């Protein structure tokens, strides 16, 4: 069988095989289940660092520098970089590698991922892709989200340490009070620190944090100027601090919660698909027509369908 050969190559950490597996996972190919079943015990061994923030904030450049920092510390790294899929054509231009030249030249495995219509900042299959990547034996997986909006917070359900990159000039201090992306950062980065307004942004973020509930881990704010490689060592040190903090505070419990969240999601997806096949598209269309004509209300319709 083709899958058997691939599984064998994966267990040897073969780069081509890992790349192929990532494609199969992305395509939601039928063979994926069998393969993942076989390698599952070998996955879950990397420390996952998520990097999110608005488009153009400098995420890819920071990922590139962090990857090299990890290398310097004798850690093996893998990178997944997500970019958006066009809602019109289904195509994508994936350009994160452009900013990852030094990581590429160090031989680090970088995979560009298209979101393929999934919302939330990642692709639907990103979790399994991380597991696939782990077959290379990497200690650290860096996951870069699409240029995120305020609500793209899914990375927090995936990463051990989430870094939110902000830049000056995007809004006033009220922006910092809003719910969403800023809340999920274990570390907040003010990039483009050489631009006017970066000190002020750092202060505003600090103020925001001080107004909030005090937890054991207070997200540090690190100012970086990524293109000049400034502040990266400090950022790396904060990541290590956060990792230590997690390890002293039930990292396994946090990871277990994330797995439970995933399982619930996958289960609801499967149950949904099964039920839809059972009920059939026609029934959904009929019910919709009835709801439209006000012959039935949506709640009764749902109840009826579920009972079928």
Cβ distance to other proteins smaller for residue 95 or 280: 95
Residue in 131, 135, 140, 178 with CA at minimum distance from that of residue 161: 140
Q: Rounded to whole angstroms, how far apart are CA atoms 34 and 204?
A: 50
In whole angstroms, the minimum distance from the beta carbon of 30 to other proteins comes to 8
In contact, 222 and 231? CB cutoff 8 Å: yes
Cβ distance to other proteins smaller for residue 24 or 65: 24
In whole angstroms, the minimum distance from the beta carbon of 22 to other proteins comes to 7
In whole angstroms, the minimum distance from the beta carbon of 274 to other proteins comes to 18
In whole angstroms, the minimum distance from the beta carbon of 85 to other proteins comes to 8
In contact, 231 and 220? CB cutoff 8 Å: no
Q: Which helix (H) or strand (E) is 80 found in, with range?
A: strand 77-83
Q: Rounded to whole angstroms, how far apart are CA atoms 6 and 226?
A: 39
DSSP character at residue 272: H
In contact, 72 and 66? CB cutoff 8 Å: no
Cβ distance to other proteins smaller for residue 89 or 252: 89
Tokens (6 digits) for 60: 């890819």
Q: Which helix (H) or strand (E) is 165 found in, with range?
A: strand 161-166
- Distance from the first to the final alpha carbon of the chain: 40
Cβ distance to other proteins smaller for residue 114 or 202: 114
Cβ distance to other proteins smaller for residue 22 or 184: 22
Q: Can you give the C-alpha Rg of the chain in angstroms?
A: 22
Residue in 86, 84, 77, 113 with CA at minimum distance from that of residue 97: 113
Q: Rounded to whole angstroms, how far apart are CA atoms 72 and 82?
A: 25
In contact, 122 and 92? CB cutoff 8 Å: no
In whole angstroms, the minimum distance from the beta carbon of 214 to other proteins comes to 43
Cβ distance to other proteins smaller for residue 88 or 292: 88
In whole angstroms, the minimum distance from the beta carbon of 138 to other proteins comes to 13
Phi, psi for 247 (deg, rounded to 5): -65, -30
Cβ distance to other proteins smaller for residue 27 or 249: 27
In whole angstroms, the minimum distance from the beta carbon of 44 to other proteins comes to 22
Q: Which residues bind other proteins (CB under 8 A)?
A: 15-16, 19-20, 22-23, 26-30, 85-86, 88-95, 97-98, 101, 104-105, 107, 109-112, 114, 116
In whole angstroms, the minimum distance from the beta carbon of 166 to other proteins comes to 26
In whole angstroms, the minimum distance from the beta carbon of 152 to other proteins comes to 20
Q: Would you put residue 286 in left (φ > 0), alpha (ψ -120 to 50) or beta? A: alpha
Cβ distance to other proteins smaller for residue 32 or 181: 32
Q: Rounded to whole angstroms, how far apart are CA atoms 294 and 297?
A: 7
């Amino acid at each position: 069988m083709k899958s058997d050969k691939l599984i064998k190559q994966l267990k040897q950490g073969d780069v081509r095989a890992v790349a192929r597996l990532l494609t199969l996972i992305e395509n939601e190919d039928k063979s994926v289940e069998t393969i993942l079943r076989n390698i599952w015990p070998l996955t879950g061994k990397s420390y996952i660092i998520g990097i999110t923030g608005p488009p153009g904030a400098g995420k890819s450049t920071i990922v590139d520098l962090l990857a090299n920092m990890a290398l310097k510390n004798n850690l093996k790294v893998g990178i997944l970089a997500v970019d958006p899929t066009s809602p019109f054509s289904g195509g994508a231009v994936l350009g994160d590698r452009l900013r990852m030249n030094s990581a590429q030249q160090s031989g680090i495995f970088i995979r560009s991922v298209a979101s393929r219509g999934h919302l939330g900042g990642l692709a639907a299959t990103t979790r399994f892709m991380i597991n696939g990547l782990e077959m290379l034996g990497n200690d650290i997986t860096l996951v870069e989200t699409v240029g995120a909006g305020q609500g793209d917070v899914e990375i927090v359900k995936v990463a051990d340490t989430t870094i939110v990159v902000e830049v000056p000039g995007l809004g006033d201090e009220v922006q910092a009070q809003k719910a969403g992306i800023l809340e999920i950062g274990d570390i907040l980065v003010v990039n483009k620190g050489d631009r006017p307004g970066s000190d002020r942004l750092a202060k505003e973020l600090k103020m925001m944090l001080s107004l909030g509930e005090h937890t054991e881990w207070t997200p540090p704010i690190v100012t970086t100027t990524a293109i000049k490689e400034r502040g990266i060592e400090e950022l790396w040190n904060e990541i290590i601090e956060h990792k230590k903090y997690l390890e002293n505070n039930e990292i396994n419990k946090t990871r277990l919660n994330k797995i439970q969240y995933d399982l619930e999601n996958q289960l609801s997806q499967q149950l949904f698909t099964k039920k839809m096949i059972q009920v059939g598209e026609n029934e959904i269309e009929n019910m919709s027509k009835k709801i439209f004509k006000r012959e039935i209300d949506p709640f009764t319709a749902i109840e009826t369908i579920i009972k079928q």
